Amino acid sequence: MTDQVHEILTWYAGQNPGTLTNLARILNHGKLGGTGKLVILPVDQGFEHGPARSFAKNSAGYDPRYHYRLAIESGCNAYAAPLGALEAGAAEFAGEIPLILKLNNNELLSGSTDPCPAITASVEDALRLGCCAIGYTIYPGSSFFRTMYENLRQLAEEAKRAGLAVVVWSYPRGSKLKKEDETSLSVIAYAAHIACQMGAHIVKVKFPAANISDLDKETFKIYDEIVNQQVKFADPIDRIKHVVTAAFNGRRIVIFSGGPAKGDDKVFEEIKAIRDGGGFGSIIGRNSFQRPWDKALAFLGTVMDIYSGKNVGTGGGNAH
């Protein structure tokens, strides 16, 4: 047990030994094991966006076992996916990579401006498949937030009782939010805090943009009068620091999503900002698995090198 991992586990005092053990398994696995940093491969995009949109650019990705291999060979800390994808390889790759079972999922064709993902798996499924954690998405800003929060409370309680960790995707979205609000610094910080209050051990949010939402006038005033004395909004490192501070003053693991596939330089700039701003890592799906195998391994290797503190250049490549 490294000092970094030991310190992180002390932030979760009061959790049962099984949950702490599973958190340690994730933190100690892969190329970044023991550093306190995480890179997780998530592959729920087929469910969320459709198979062709997710896998046609690299057709090997239609096979769920491909993603197991990618997570293992690249040295990820964990692999997260819905029930069917995990079932397709859990026996073949048993014990080779910590697993996170995504318990709820949305789907592209619903067209709802107020999403409320269906529960598609159970804590019992996670235990049966040997998972270390459950994953659950909430959409703060949706008119159905009460249903999502109440379902998460029940599932998190059950997971913790069984000794599993809880990972919460906290994505602001809903009819009351403008598109730019979804990545606003103030809204992302609020979303991270909500996930912490819901009992998440690991919080996943989007990379925060430089704008401040004016949806809540009082909050906008606070940012204008107080927060802007502490945060240089144009500086991505400061924005990351602010989000981490909102997550119980940095005493919860906060990781950031990779988002849609984009150029390498942009991705690596964001990774460096996450590292230097005190973020704990990334959960990167499409930006990795939509590449050919060798390029995906090289890409994830560079991401992990950045988190390990190596001086990595951005070679001007692109996502495909």
Backbone φ and ψ for 75, nearest 5 degrees, come out as 90, 30
Q: What is the mean pLDDT of residues 241-257?
A: 97
Mean pLDDT score across all residues of the chain = 93
- Burial class for 235, CB neighbours closer than 10 Å (0-12, 13-18, 19+): middle
> Which pLDDT tens digit goes with each residue over 79-112?
999 999 999 999 999 999 999 999 999 877 666 7
Query: Contact at 8 Å (CB) between 35 and 4?
Result: yes
For 71, 303, 320, the CA distances from 317, given in Å and listed in that order, are 22, 14, 8
- Token look-up 């999502």 returns 148
> Which pLDDT tens digit goes with each residue over 298-318?
999 999 999 999 877 654 333
Q: What is the mean pLDDT of residues 71-78?
A: 98
Pairing of strands 78-81, 104-105: unpaired
Catalytic residues: 204
pLDDT for 320 equals 30
> Which pLDDT tens digit goes with each residue over 172-230?
999 989 999 999 999 999 999 999 999 999 999 999 999 999 989 999 999 988 988 88
Percent of the chain at pLDDT above 70? Answer: 96
> Which pLDDT tens digit goes with each residue over 262-297?
789 999 999 999 999 999 999 999 999 999 999 999
Tell me how far apart the alpha carbons of residues 152 and 35 are, in angstroms, rounded to a whole number. Answer: 29
Confidence label for 243 from pLDDT (cuts 50, 70 and 90): very high
pLDDT for 208 equals 96
pLDDT for 48 equals 87
Domain ranges of the chain: 3-307
Question: DSSP letters along 246-303, please?
Answer: HTTTTTSEEEEE--S---HHHHHHHHHHHHHTT--EEE-SHHHHTS-HHHHHHHHHHH
Helices (H) and strands (E) in the chain, counts: 14, 10
Q: What is the mean pLDDT of residues 129-156?
A: 97
Query: Contact at 8 Å (CB) between 159 and 198?
Result: no
Tell me how far apart the alpha carbons of residues 102 and 120 are, in angstroms, rounded to a whole number. Answer: 8
pLDDT for 109 equals 64
Residue 52 has pLDDT above 80, yes or no: yes
Spatial CA neighbour of 39 closest among 246, 297, 237: 297
Spatial CA neighbour of 23 closest among 41, 34, 13, 9: 9
Q: What is the DSSP letter of 89?
A: T
CATH 3.20.20.70 fits 3-307, yes or no: yes
Q: Specify the length of the chain in residues.
A: 320
Query: Contact at 8 Å (CB) between 243 and 193?
Result: no
pLDDT for 261 equals 66
In this structure, what token pair is assigned to residue 110?
A: 């619903």
